[in-house]
Amino acid sequence: MIDDDNIFHLHLVSDSTGETVDGVARACIAQFPDVRAHEHVWSLIRTDAQLARVLADIERNPGIVLYTVFDSDIRRKLEEGCRRLQIPHSHVLDNTITMMAGYLGQQSRGRTGALHKMDEDYFNRIEAIDFTLSHDDGQSAWDLEEADVVIVGVSRTSKTPTSVYLANRGIKTANVPFVPGCPLPPELDQLKKPLVVGLIKDVDQLVSIRKNRLRQIERGEGGDYVDPVAVRNEVHQARRYFTDRGWKIINVTRRSIEETAAMIMATMYDRRGH
C-alpha cells in the first residue's frame, strides 16, 4: 500500500498525441516502485488558450512537468510558466536530440507529431494490426504463411496481448492455442517464412492465473484446466511438441509482455540476419 506522502502529481504535456512523453514517463516511474504518480495528461496543446488551462492545473496541483512540445512559442510559454511557478520541468527528448544533432552535424527539424506521420511505416502497422486481429486464437489458419511471427502456447500465456504488442510495431502476428487432445492446424508444420514461437509457463503460476480467470467469469471448478497434475502434463506435452519441431520456446513466467515481445523480435531479426 502506497501512502499519500508517496503520491505526486505528474503533468505530461504534448503538442502531439502524447505517446512519447507517456512512454518515457512510465519507464522512469517504474524505477521508483514505492511511489505512484497522479497523471495529468495534456495532448494536442497548440494554442495559448489550451496552454493557459494546462498552467492553471499545474498551479493547482504542483508536481513535475514532462513535455514533448516542439512549437517554439508554446514551449517558451510553458517553460516560463513553470519557472514562474517554481515547478521542475523537462523536455524528455532534449538531451538525446542534442547528442544526435552533434554527432550527425545537423540541426533537428522540431517537427510536431513526426512519429505519427501517415507514411509507409504507418500503413504497415495498420496492416499488421488488421492481420493480427483476424488471426487471433487460431483463426484463419489457411494463410499463416503470410505472418511474420506465429505464436503457439498453452492457455493463459498472454498470446493475444503479445501478438497485439508486436502488431503495433508492424509485425504481422498470428497466435494459435495449444489444447491437449485438440490437433493443431496442419498448416503449422508447413510454414517456411514465419518465425514460430512456443510459449509455456511454470505450472504453479499457470494454475493460479487460470483459477483467477475462472473466478472472474464465474465458471465453476475448471477440472483438468486447473488441476496441477493435468496442467503439468499439458506443459510437458507442449514443450515436447515445440522441441520436436525446432521452434523457439519462451518461458513467460515472470516476464512482462514487453520482455517476451523483445525476445521474439530479437530472434526474428537474428533469423533474418539483421
- pLDDT value of residue 31: 85
Q: Does the annotation list 203 as a binding residue?
A: no
Domains of the chain in sequence order: 4-115 (3.40.50), 120-271 (3.40.50)
132 assigned binding-site residue: no
The percent of residues in the chain predicted with pLDDT above 90, rounded, is 63
Query: For 43, what's the count of Cα atoms within 13 Å in the CB-facing half-sphere?
Result: 10
Q: What is the pLDDT of residue 33?
A: 84
Model confidence pLDDT, tens digit, residues 108-120: 665 555 554 555 6
Task: Please tell me whether residue 36 adopts helix, strand or coil conformation.
Answer: strand
Residue 45 grid cell: 496543446
Q: Is 160 annotated as a binding residue?
A: yes
Asked if residue 244 has pLDDT above 70, the reply is yes
pLDDT digits (tens, 9 = 90+) for 146-203: 999 999 999 999 999 999 999 988 899 999 999 999 999 999 999 999 999 999 999 9
- The single-letter DSSP state of residue 184 is P
Rounded CA-CA distance 248/242 in Å is 8
Q: What is the pLDDT of residue 150?
A: 98
Q: Is 157 annotated as a binding residue?
A: yes
Does the annotation list 13 as a binding residue? no
87 pLDDT higher than 70: yes
Beta strands in the chain (DSSP E): 7-14, 36-42, 63-68, 89-91, 149-153, 173-177, 195-200, 248-251
- Are the CB atoms for 159 and 194 separated by under 8 Å? no
Provide CB contacts within 8 A for 79, sequence distance 6+. 89
| pLDDT reported for residue 1 | 46
* Mean pLDDT rounded to a whole number for the chain: 88
pLDDT at 117: 52
**Residue 172 labelled as part of a binding site:** no
* 222-241 pLDDT tens trace: 788 999 999 999 999 999 99
Neighbour tally for 46: CB within 10 Å: 16
* Residue 209 clears pLDDT 50, i.e. is over it: yes
Distance (Å, whole) CA 221 – CA 204: 16
Nearest to 178 by CA among 163, 160, 204, 199: 199
pTM over 0.75: no
